[in-house]
Structure 1
């Protein structure tokens, strides 16, 4: 069982009380937290954060663009930005120092909309593509999730990985870019190398 000092217990009571006024159905919001565009963020019951998290929602159509499911937990210093759509499912666990963004300064996909390298990065047109993180996903420390990807149900992404392409369900993926290295076999009830 965890042992908290008196100061830690008082801090948790403070966070629980203050968090009620930020998101009433949250389990626990540890402060400080940076919320930008709160009216475009929808969280569900059981929402839990670590310290120093940053949630940003910049909706162009005035709709909710950052939607988080039940029993979501993120640890310290997670940064999530949504402009088009970031949908995170139920029972998702995020380690610390994770970056998730559906948008970037400029386009770099190799088409007529590409940004020119001589333009000032902060002045480049912002491009956005939706992100979907399905139920029961676990992202390890320092993972980055880039625009336009889906991470399938039950998938685990290893520490320091960059998810630049969609990942199927029930795999363990690692690397830059993240690639599946194991898949769960429901017949043998075990993780097997791919």
Structure 2
């Protein structure tokens, strides 16, 4: 992860005509080339991990599986744990930072968004970013959207097509738009047959 840039953009506006935005656009342009190469044609799991290593500038554990196509706009602000499965057509808008802990499952067409535009119409093309954190053993359902600043708790489940605007507590299931807690997960330490 590009920690120097991450520190410079945290909790402050990034204006469209700024030098910082030009720097971001350069990284984004190189990332787009890598993502397009990765998503064109067939690549085995090892080749996908090699592309992800180039995109994120980090080692990707051999237990990480990402189904293609996979989309990211910036790429350098993603951190993957171990034993992760990401289904196809997932979108990471990661300028604000996306952390995926161990044993996370992410369903097809899910979107993790860390970027928002500025409210003032005169500055609307500028950006404001907040990180997304998906904690250990969480499951993000198909088509779910996780918005900037959200942490999804350990073992939590985000139902398909939910829009998550607030943190999700550990061991809870959320559903709807905006997502609301619908119940607590019954924890059974023994596998069901």
Q: Which category describes the TM-score, using the shorter chain as reference length?
A: 0.5 to 0.7
- Which residue is equivalent to 1:167? 168
- 1:104 correspondence with 2:112: no
Q: Would the aligned equivalents of 1:38 and 1:56 in 2 still touch at CA under 8 Å?
A: no
| 1:50-102 CA-partner distances (Å, limit 9, x unpaired) | 221112336xxxxx521011011111100112112211110000110011011
Paired residue total: 150
Find the partner of 2:68 among 51, 63, 70. Answer: 51
| 1:137-187 CA-partner distances (Å, limit 9, x unpaired) | 001110000001111000001011001111100001001011111113559
1:147–1:41 CA distance, 2 compared to 1 (3 A): farther
- Which residue is equivalent to 1:81? 93
Find the partner of 2:83 among 53, 67, 71. Answer: 71
Q: Would the aligned equivalents of 2:45 and 2:66 in 1 still touch at CA under 8 Å?
A: no
Q: What SS does structure 1 have at the residue aligned with 2:173?
A: strand
Q: What SS does structure 2 have at the residue aligned with 1:84?
A: coil
> What pairs with 1:15-26 in structure 2 (closer than 5 Å)?
15-16=44-45, 18-19=47-48, 21-23=50-52
RMSD: 2.8
Higher helix share: 2
Unpaired runs of 5+ in structure 2? 1-40
- 1:134 correspondence with 2:145: no
Q: Would the aligned equivalents of 2:173 and 2:184 in 1 still touch at CA under 8 Å?
A: yes
CA displacement at 1:39 relative to structure 2: 4.1
Structure-1-length-normalised TM-score: 0.67
- Which residue is equivalent to 2:120? 115
- Which residue is equivalent to 2:103? 91
Q: What SS does structure 1 have at the residue aligned with 2:73?
A: strand
Q: Would the aligned equivalents of 1:40 and 1:65 in 2 still touch at CA under 8 Å?
A: no
Q: Would the aligned equivalents of 2:45 and 2:65 in 1 still touch at CA under 8 Å?
A: no
Choose 151-160 or 83-92, whichever is displaced more. Answer: 83-92
Q: Would the aligned equivalents of 1:40 and 1:57 in 2 still touch at CA under 8 Å?
A: no
Q: Quick one: distance in 1 between partners of 2:52 and 2:57?
A: 13
Higher strand share: 1
**After the TM superposition, which parts of structure 1 deviate over 6 Å for at least 4 consecutive aligned residues?**
none
**In terms of Rg, which structure is larger?**
1
